[in-house]
Structure 1
Amino acid sequence: MRLSRPVSRHVLPVLLGALFGSVFMAPANAAEVDRAPSPHGRSLFDRLLERGANGAQQVPFPFPALLQRVRAQLDGEDPNGGLAIVLIPLGRSLQRHAAGDVDAFRFPRVVAAVTGEPASDAPAGHLYLKDRLYVAHHERAEALEVISYNEDAGRFEFQLVLDYRAGATPRVVAANRTLCLACHQNEAPIFSRPSWDETSASPPVAARLAATGLDYQGLPWRHGVDVPEAIDAASARANRLGVAQRLWRDGCALATPQAGIDCRAQALLHALRQRLIGTGAPVARADATNRLVDPLLANWQARWPDGLVIPDPQIPNRQPFAGIEGGIAPPSDAELVRYADIPAVFDPLALRAPIEHWRGRDPGDVMRFIHLLGTLFSRADLARIERALARMPQPAAREIDLSCTLRRATDATRLDLDCARGSEVRLQARIRLDGGRSADGILDRLQLSGSSAHTGVTLAIAKDHDPASGWPIRFALTARAGGPIRASTGEAITTLRLGGDGGSAHLPGSPGAAEAVVAALELVDDLEPLGHAVEALAQANVAGQDDALTGGPARRMALLAPLLRGLGEDVPAPPAAAAPPAALMADVTRSRTTHWPADLQPFLRQCSQCHAENTAFPPGFLHGDEAQVRANLATCAQRMLHRLDMNRLPPAARSKTPMPPPAAAHAGAFLQSPDLAAMRDLLEHVLQASGVRSADVLAHPYATLAPCRVPTG
C-alpha cells in the first residue's frame, strides 16, 4: 500500500539513507566521486561485448548493430521481438540538450529495453537480459548510457560508452554513480507513468518526428503505447530485484550460519517450485515454516521494525506540448527551448515517495519475497530443470477419475470433450479427428481445486499408445512452453486417458451426437529430486564447499549450476571471471592538489560530486584551475542562483528542483548550512559585476536565463 502520511522533505533523505544505505551518501569532495565499478563480477553489458585482439571491448556500431547483438541473445520466436524501442526527443535525461533544443526532433534520444526471454533451449550460463539491460543513444552526444545488471554483485551498474561515432573507437567507462543516483534513487532504471506522452507513442510527438522525413537509423519507432508500457513494466520489475537481494542477504542473516543457509535454501526451493508450478503455489510444508517463514518474519521485525518501503521507479508523465491551444499542434522551433525545460513537478531529481510498504508480519510478505526471488531465473533455466527432472526415474502415477461427455462437432472433424469431478475438477478440450480416429487436440481449460486454470495445453497421442489398439486412448499433456502443467501440489499432470480400462467406448456417430465416457488424469510427483538437490547444496555450504547460500547476493548461475548437477545434468564450470576492462577501472576525478580560496570552498563541499568533471551535462563548472572555475561561475551564475533560491521555497511553490538534489544525503542539512548564504553572496556579487540584478534573475522563467555552458575538451 502507499504511505498514507507525507514525510517531511528534511526527514526523507535521512529515512531513505537508512533504508537503502550508501545510495544517498554524499562524498565530501571531488576526490570521492563514485565512478568505480563493483569489484565483484561484470555487468551484463560487459559480458555481451566481444573483446578484440588487444583485449579491449568491441562495441558494435552503428546503434542498430548493437541492438542486433542483443537480439541474438533472445528468443527469435517471440512475436514482440523481446526488445522495446522508443524515441524521446524532449525528454528528461542529461543527454536531452546534446542536439540543442531546436534539433531535438532531428536527433531524438533512443531508449531500448530488453523485455523478452532467451530461447527455451538456450545453453546453461546464457545471458539473461530481460528487465536487466537498458541502453539509451543520442546521436549528437556520440555516447550511450547503459544500465545493466551485475549478477555477481546483485546490483545494476551505470555505464557510458564514449566516442560512439563512425571512425572512432568507442570506450566503455563507469558512470559517476553518485550523479546517476540523484535521479535513479532506487539504484535501478526509471521510466514515466502512463500515458508516456514524451515518447514516440504520443501522436503529437510522432507527428513532428514524421514531419522531419528522417528514418532514425531504420529503428521501429512507429507504434502504440504497448511499447512504452512494456518498458515501464520492465523497469518496475527491475526495481524489485534489489528488494529480493536485500531480503535474501539481510532478511535471512539469522542467528547462526546454519540457520541463514537453511533460510536461503528454503527460499530458493520454494521460489523454483513457484515458478515451475505457477504463482498460486503455496508454501505449506512444515519444514518451510520452521526454516523459512517463522525465522524470516522474526528477523524482519527485529531488523526493520517499521517494515520495508518499496521504491517507486516511475516519474510523473509529462506532456512536452502542454498548454498549446488544442494540445495537438507541436510548437515552432523557436518555442522548443521553452518546452524543453523541465519544471520541478516533472523533474526526476525530485524525491519520490515509496510505492508500497511491506510490514513483514504475515506469510504473505514471505510469499512476495519468494515470488521476487523466482524472477532471478529465466524461462530457459526452468525448462532445463524440467528436462532434467523428466530424465530422472519417475515415481508411480496417481489418477483422478472423471465423468465426461464426448460430442462430435457439427463439422464432423472435431470432438468436444467436457469432463468434471464434482467441484474439484473441470476439464474442457477439443480433439481433432483423423480418418475417423482421434489424433490430437487442445485442452482449452483445466481447473483443479486450489490451482490456477490451465489453458491452451497441447494434447498429443502418448508415445506408448498405439492408435490402432482402440480405446482407451492416452494423450500426453504439454504446456506451451514445452514442459508439463502442474497441480498446486507440484505434481505434473502428464496424461489424459479417455475411455475406461478395458471398457468399451466409441466415437459419437453423427454431428451433434454425444456419448458419456469415463476419463482419468494421471499425476506424477516428480519434484522431489529438486528438493534433494537444494538440500545437497545447503549441506555443501555448511561444509564450506560452496558459498552460494552463505550471505552474498543471490547469484543466478551460482545457484542454478549445482542444482542441475544434482539432477544429473552436465553443467560445465564457468570460466574464470575476467577482470573488468581497463576503461572501467576507477576513472575518478582527480582530487584538487592546490588549496581553494575560502569563497570557493562552499561550492567544493556542496557541488563537486556532480560538477567537478569535464562534462557539458551536467555542466562541469568546478573543473579546471581557479581562474577557469571563476569564469565558469560567472557564466552559470544566473541559473545557479535560481536553483539555490528554490531551497527557500516549499516544494509546491518551486518552478525548478533545488540544488543540491533533494536525494543527496546533505540536501536537508544544506538549508541550515552557512554555505547556502555564502554561495548566494558570491553569485550575487558576480551578477552585480556584470550589471545583472539578482531580483531580475529570480523574476524570470528559468528557461530564459543565460545557459550554463562551460568549456570541455
Structure 2
Amino acid sequence: MLRWTSLLAALTLALAPSPDGANAGGAAQPAGAIEPPGPDLPPAGRSLFDELFGADADGASRLPFPFPALLQRIAQQLDAGQPSGGLSVVLIPLGRSLQRHAAGDVDAFRHPRVVAAVTGEPPAAAPPGHPYLRDRLYVAYHEKAAALEVISYNEAAGRFEFQLVRNYREGAAPEPGYANRTLCLACHHNAAPIFSRQSWDETSASTPVAARLAATGLPYYGLAWRHGVDVPDAIDTAAARANLLGTAQRLWREGCAAPDRKAAVACRAEALRQALRHRLTDGRSTTAERRARRPALVEPLLANWRQRWPAGLAIPDPSLPNRQPFAGIEGGRPQPSDDELRRYADIAAAFDPLALRAPLETWPGRSAADAGRFVAALSMFFSRADVAAIDRALSVLSASPAAATARAAERGNPALAALADGRMASIRHIALSCSGRKTTDHGRLDLDCAGADGARLQARLVLKAGMATGGTADRLVLPGNDAIGAVALKPAANRRQRAGAETMRFIPDRGGRTVRTAGGEAIRRIDIPRPAANAAAPATATLELVADLAPLDVAIDRLAQATLAGRSDALDDLPLRRSALLPALLTDLGTPAPAPPSAAPSAPRLADPPAARDGAWPPELQPFARQCGQCHAAATAFPPGFLRGGDEQVRGRIAACAERMLFRLAMNARPPAARPKTPMPPPAAAHAAAFAQSPDYPAMTALLEGLLAQRALAPAGVLARPYATLAPCTAGAE
C-alpha cells in the first residue's frame, strides 16, 4: 500500500527472487532480501486492524469516520504521556504511494495523504491481553480516493497484512478487504512497512512542504500536522523495528528447527527465556559471554544458521532514499505552477520504491553475538506492559515465599513450590563507601560512593527535615562493570534503625519497573544511614540484590513440557504468538490469565477479487496477460486496470496507455544507472529477470509501437520526452 510513505506502493508482479538470484538489471540479489508474497488472505488469524475495527456479527462496520475519530480510537490503546501520544501523523502531498495521483497533482496540497503510525507503547498498567500496536499498525488516508491503506501485524500468521478500505466517506459503508500482496510487495520487498530516510523532505516536517500546506489555509481535518522531524523520525524508527519482526519469526521457526522435537522446543524455550531477560534487564543480560552459557539456544541455532543460510541471513532494507520534491524550483518560489507540480509529482527511478534495494545488512550466524541479535529482535514481541506484569509478579513472589507456596499449590506446580520453600530468592549485599556534601540550604545531599571491583554510585538526594524524600542516581555501576546508568530513587514506605541512626531506604525505579543487574538480579533497595547534623555525608551505602528470576524459569520450563505433551502449541513450529505465551507464563507466576480475545466474526474478503473471464485471451493480448495480469487486471485506477473487461475494452485501454507502457518496457534494455524510470515488470517481480529475453518483450513492444504509429507518434520521440509529459494511463475502476 504505501511505500511507507506508500503503504501499498508498487506497480506489478510477483515477488520471489529468480532462481539464479539475478534481477532485470543484471545485479545479484542476495538470498533472503525479498520475501515471496504468500496468499492475499491471511493463512491463519486476522490482522490487528481487523481485531480493532472488524465488522460485527451482523456485518455492520465498526470503522469510525471521519479519520480523526479513527485515530482517536487507536490512541485510546496508547499511553497519552508519550511523544505525540504514541501515534505519529504526517501529511505527504507529493509522495510515492499508489494513491498519490488521486487528487490530481495540481491539488496535491489541498488533499494531501495522511500517514499515521503507532510508534508508542500501551499504558504501563494495561491489563494482560491488551492489543500491542507499537510498530504493528500503519494507516494512510486519502480523502479524494475515499480510501484507507493499512499495514498491520497478524501474529497467528507471523506476518504483516496489507489491506484496503474503499468507500471510506461520510454516509457510506466502508468496504475493507485484503490487498493484492503481489502488488504490495513489489515495493515492500521486506513484506513490512517502508519509509523514507532522513530528512523526510516529502513530509509536513519539511519547511518548503509545510509552507505550501499552510498557504492553502485548510485545517486538514483538525490534525496537529505542524511539527519537526521528530515525528517522521519516529515513523522511520518504527518501520525499522517492524522490519526485524519477520527475521525474528524466521529464526524462531527455522533457526530452532530440529529432527528431535524435544531439542526444537528446548531451543525456543531458551530463546524465550533470554528474550524476557533481555527486556527485564534493559538489554544488558545478553552479553556474548552470558549467551555462550546457554548451549540449548546457541549451538542448535548456529548449526541451523550455517546450514540454511551459509552466506548469512540478509536483512531487507525498509528505507527509501530521501526525496526533495521541489529541489529544482528556482528561487524558492512558494507555489509552483501546475505543470511544475505534475513534473515534481513524477518519481524518478532513483527514488522509486519499485527499485531493488540491497540488504540493510547480513547477519553471518557464526557466533553467540548473532544469537544475541535474534534474542533482541525476539524481545520486541512483548510490550512494556507485558514486561511490567512479569516484573510485578516476580516481585510479589520474592517478597512472600508463603504466597508463592500457596500459588504453587493452586497451580499444581511442585517445582515452584520447591523454590518457594526457602529457596525462592537468594539475597546478597554490596557495600559502598561514600563521600559527599549537602547544599548550603541543606535541601540536597550529593553522594559519591565507591566499592570493590569498580562499583560506583553517584546520587542526588532531596532532603526535607533532614530526611531524603527521593532523588536520582545519576550513575550506578555494579561490580564487573555492569553499567546500569541513571535511575530514580524512590523512598521506601518503611524506615529502619541501624546502630542507633535512622536509615534512609530507597527503591531504584526505571519507568515503574524493577532495576536489575545484567545477571537478572533485582536491586531491591539501597540503604543509606541518615547523616548526623554535623556530618557532611554518610560513611556507607548498602545495595540489596535479590535473585528472583527462578519462578520465570520454572514457568518457561513448564510451558516447554506442556508443548511436548500436546497441551500447548506455544513452542511448536509455529509463529511466535504473544497470545499463546503470556497467559501461561503469567498464570504460573500467580497473575490471572487474560480472557482470550474475541475473534473477528466476519469472514475476510479480498479488496480486489479476480474477475472471471469469458474465453481465452486473443494471441496479441496474451503477452500482456502473462506479464501484467497479476497487478493490472483489477477494477482499480491505481495501478491502472488496463486488463479489466472484454477484449475490445482491453485493446482500447492499452492504446490509451501505450506511450507510458512503451516507455516503461524500454527501461528493461537500459542498465539501472541509465534509467529515468523503473522498468515494468518491476525488478522485484519473480519473472522480471527473464522478461527482457522472453518472446513477450518484443511482441508487446511491437504492438505498442503499432498503436503509436496510428497516432503518428514515433517511438524514439516518445522515449525522448520526460515521462511526466506523456499521455497519462487513465484506465481505472469501472
Which TM-score band applies after superposition, normalised by the shorter structure?
over 0.9
Partner of 1:299: 304
Q: Confirm or deny that 1:246 pairs with 2:250.
A: yes
The answer to whether 1:506 aligns with 2:527 is no
Other-structure match for 1:234: 238
State which drifts further: 333-342 or 431-440.
431-440
- 1:277-676 equivalence runs, <5 A: 277-282=281-286, 289-327=294-332, 329-394=334-399, 395-450=425-480, 453-465=483-495, 471-499=501-529, 506-509=531-534, 514-575=536-597, 577-579=599-601, 581-582=602-603, 584=605, 588-676=609-697
Measured after TM superposition, the shift of residue 527 of structure 1 is 0.8
SS of the residue aligned with 1:179?
helix
1:661 Cα deviation after fit = 0.4
Q: Please list the CA deviations of residues 141-160 of structure 1 after superposition, one character each: whole Å capped at 9, or x if unmatched.
A: 10000000011111000001
Which residue does 1:29 correspond to in 2? none
| Matched residue SS, 1:136 | strand
Comparing 183-192 with 453-462, which one deviates more in the overlay?
453-462
Whether 1:22 and 2:36 are equivalent positions in the alignment is yes
Supply the distance in 2 between the matched residues of 1:13 and 1:539 (Cα, whole angstroms): 48
**Cα deviation digits, residues 213-255 of structure 1 (max 9, x gap):** 0110111111111111111111011001010001001111123
Conservation of the 8 A alpha-carbon contact between 2:179 and 2:606: no
Report deviation, 1:508: 4.6
CA distance in 2, matches of 1:135, 1:286: 38
Give the partner amino acid of 1:609. Answer: Q
Q: What's the CA shift string for 1:90-128, capped at 9, x where partnerless?
A: 001001000000000000001011100000111111111
Per the alignment, residue 170 of structure 1 pairs with 174
Question: Aligned in 2, Cα 1:166/1:124: closer, same or farther, shift over 3 Å?
Answer: same
Distance 1:485 1:328 in 2: 55
Q: Percent identity?
A: 58
Structure 2 counterparts to residues 3-402 of structure 1, below 5 A: 9-10=23-24, 15=29, 20=34, 22-23=36-37, 36-49=40-53, 51-52=55-56, 54-282=58-286, 289-327=294-332, 329-394=334-399, 395-402=425-432
Q: How many angstroms apart in 2 are the aligned matches of 1:323 and 1:566?
A: 63
Quick one: which amino acid aligns to residue 434 of structure 1?
A: K
How far has the Cα of 1:598 moved from its partner?
Answer: 0.5
Structure 1 residue 355, shift from structure 2 partner: 1.0
2: distance between equivalents of 1:330 and 1:368?
A: 48
- State the number of aligned residues: 688
User: Could you say if the C-alpha distance between residues 709 and 702 of structure 1 is closer, same or farther in structure 2, counting changes exceeding 3 Å?
Assistant: same
1-side partners of 2:75 and 2:497: how far apart?
42
Q: Deviations over 1:293-338 (max 9, x none)?
A: 0111011101111111011001111110122224564422332111
Q: Residue 450 of structure 1: CA displacement?
A: 4.3
Deviation at 1:274, TM superposition (A): 0.7
SS of equivalent residue, structure 1 residue 514: coil
Question: Shift of residue 490 of structure 1?
Answer: 0.7
**RMSD (Å), alpha carbons:** 2.1
Q: Which amino acid aligns with 1:308?
A: L
TM-score when scaled to structure 2? 0.90
- Aligned partner of 2:9 in structure 1 is none
Match of 2:696, as an amino acid?
D
Cα contact 1:407–1:508 (8 A) shared by 2: no
1:31 — aligned with what? none
- Give the TM-score normalised by the residue count of structure 1: 0.93
The answer for the alignment partner of 1:680 in structure 2 is: 701
Question: Against the structure 1 CA distance between its residues 443 and 18, is the aligned structure 2 distance closer, same or farther, given a 3 Å change threshold?
Answer: closer
CA distance in 1, matches of 2:451, 2:333: 58
| Post-superposition offset of 1:69 | 0.4
1:490-517 deviation line (CA, Å, top 9, x unaligned) = 1001111113xxxxx63353xxx62451
> d(CA) in 1 for partners of 2:617 and 2:55?
43
After superposition, the Cα gap between the structure-2 partners of 1:575 and 1:8, relative to the gap in structure 1 and judged at 3 Å, is closer
Paired residues of 1:149 and 1:156 also in contact (CA < 8 A): yes
The Cα offsets for residues 370-389 of structure 1, whole Å up to 9 and x where unpaired, read as 00000000000000001111
3-state SS in 2 of match to 1:135: strand
* Contact 1:451 1:487 (8 Å CA) reproduced: no
Is the CA contact (8 Å cut-off) linking 1:37 and 1:586 kept in structure 2?
no
Tell me the distance in 2 between the aligned counterparts of 1:390 and 1:274: 17
Cα deviation, 1:655-705, whole Å, max 9, x if unaligned, reads 110000000010001011000000001111111112222121111111111
Which deviates further from its counterpart, 289-298 or 406-415? 406-415
* 1:474 Cα offset (Å): 4.1
Contact 1:274-1:371 at 8 Å conserved across structures: yes
Query: Is this contact kept in 2: 1:403–1:519, CA < 8 A?
Result: yes
Mark the CA change 1:21 to 1:323 in structure 2 (over 3 Å): closer, same or farther: closer
Distance 1:587 1:702 in 2: 28
In structure 1, what is the Cα distance between the partners aligned to 2:238 and 2:80? 19
SS in 2 for 1:249: helix
Q: Do the aligned partners of 2:92 and 2:113 also contact (CA within 8 Å) in 1?
A: yes
Question: Which residue matches 2:726?
Answer: 705
Which residue in 1 is equivalent to 2:417? none
Question: Partner of 1:398: helix, strand, or coil?
Answer: strand
Distance 1:285 1:638, change over 3 A: closer
Residues of 1 paired with 2:291 and 2:284: CA distance?
A: 18
Retained in 2: the 8 A contact 1:402–1:518? yes
- 1:13 Cα offset (Å): 8.8
**Aligned match of 1:3:** none
Gap change, CA 1:301 and 1:455, over 3 Å in 2:
closer
Q: Which runs of 5+ in 2 are unaligned?
A: 1-20, 400-424
CA distance in 2: counterparts of 1:441 and 1:469, whole angstroms: 24
2:404 paired residue number:
none
Partner SS state of residue 647, structure 1: helix
Cα distance change, pair 287–639 in 1 and its aligned pair in 2 (3 A): closer
In structure 2, C-alpha distance between the alignment counterparts of 1:413 and 1:206, rounded to whole Å: 47
Q: Which one-letter code corresponds to 1:379 in the other structure? A: R
Distance in 2 between the 1:703 and 1:19 partners?
A: 31
3-state DSSP of counterpart to 1:81: helix
Distance in 1 (CA, whole Å) between partners of 2:118 and 2:500 is 49
Q: Distance in 2 between matches of 1:139 and 1:650?
A: 38
